[in-house]
Amino acid sequence: MAARHRNQQQWTDLSFTSHDGLRLAGRHYRAARHGQGDRYPATPLLCLSSLTGNSDEFHALGCYLSSHPRQPRDVWCLDYRGRGQSRNDRTSAHYTSYMELRDILDFLVAFDLPHFDVLGSSRGGINAMLLAAARPAALRSTILNDLGPVLEPAGIARMMGFLTNMPSPVNWSEAVGLVRRIYQSSFPALEEDDWHAFARRYFKMQDDRPVLAFDPRIALGGRHLDLQKSLPDMWRQYLALFRHPLLIIRGEFSDMLSRKTVERMRTLHWRARAVTVPGQGHAPLLRDRASMETISVFLSENDKARQHGPENRLALSR
């Protein structure tokens, strides 16, 4: 296990060794100590990224939550194997949610996180449900960013289409332009800084050229899906979240999480809330002030409820 300070006011780079000897990476956004604000402890937030994403996916949110003036909290992010600063796996068949779950469990042990809230974005939402089943006593609350028990075939087809045909840009400007062309219709309101942040989900700079920030073999996992048929649902996995408060975030233009699925999720889970991010598709970037403050309020309310016992937890869940 190792840590390297990238920026004292933003994050610390992390590295550790997985159960099978692979070197993995992550980030820690350490909570600022303002000496003011609420009098109850803030639970650390574990952020789990999308299929090809990495810790940088949560940079804006990590900075915002860790430096929040009322309730700063530690934010931990993991680069799955084959993503970001983590090493690629020699065996492409290991790029599965179940192997990622084992890496997450190794991460929790390596950095001594006995209790945490979890935010799962897209693929990270699947991993969050698996984690809730594997470590129910450790999990405090859950946020699912544009992911539910039913995945829409149109969204899967779109994602697999561009992942298996991703061109190689020659410079960063071309990388940003490529991502903009792919996502413009789903994210019509993004500004220039947002597009640069979006591009870092897919590319990183190496020898002055943008290269993929993920192992391209990750896309092989979807090549056997028959998108003409209904995909297997995950309602049984969703049951693992019923013990914990849940915030469901959906992009207004999402083609991966339908409104119908969100409504059923809310009906089944009595402590679930749902919000829509206007002007964004799959998956919302969580960089806008409204989204970040919604997440902060949700986490802080649940921290406070735990301090005041079951009666207050019931009141806040309504």
**CATH number for position 137:** 3.40.50.1820
User: 163 in a domain, yes or no?
Assistant: no
Q: Output the CA–CA distances (angstroms, integers) from residue 295 to 5, 42, 72, 82, 282, in the order listed.
A: 26, 13, 12, 28, 18
Nearest CA to 211 out of 97, 85, 93 is that of 85
Inside any domain, residue 287: yes
Distance CA(135)–CA(104), nearest Å, equals 11
Residue 160 lies in a domain: no
Contact at 8 Å (CB) between 28 and 11?
yes
Domain presence at residue 174: no
Is residue 117 one of the residues assigned to a domain?
yes
Give the predicted TM-score (pTM) of the model: 0.92
Q: Which domain holds residue 278?
A: 2-154+234-317
In a domain, 197, yes or no: no
Per-residue pLDDT of the chain (318 residues; tens, 9 = 90+): 554 445 445 899 999 999 999 999 999 999 987 545 556 789 999 999 999 999 999 999 999 999 999 899 999 999 999 999 999 999 999 999 999 999 999 999 999 999 999 999 999 999 999 999 999 999 999 999 999 999 998 888 888 887 878 888 999 999 999 999 999 999 999 999 999 999 998 999 999 999 999 999 998 765 555 555 667 899 999 999 999 999 999 999 999 999 999 999 999 999 999 999 999 999 999 999 999 999 999 999 999 988 876 545 444 444
The verdict on residue 161 lying in a domain is: no
Indicate whether 259 belongs to any domain: yes
Domain tally for the chain? Answer: 1
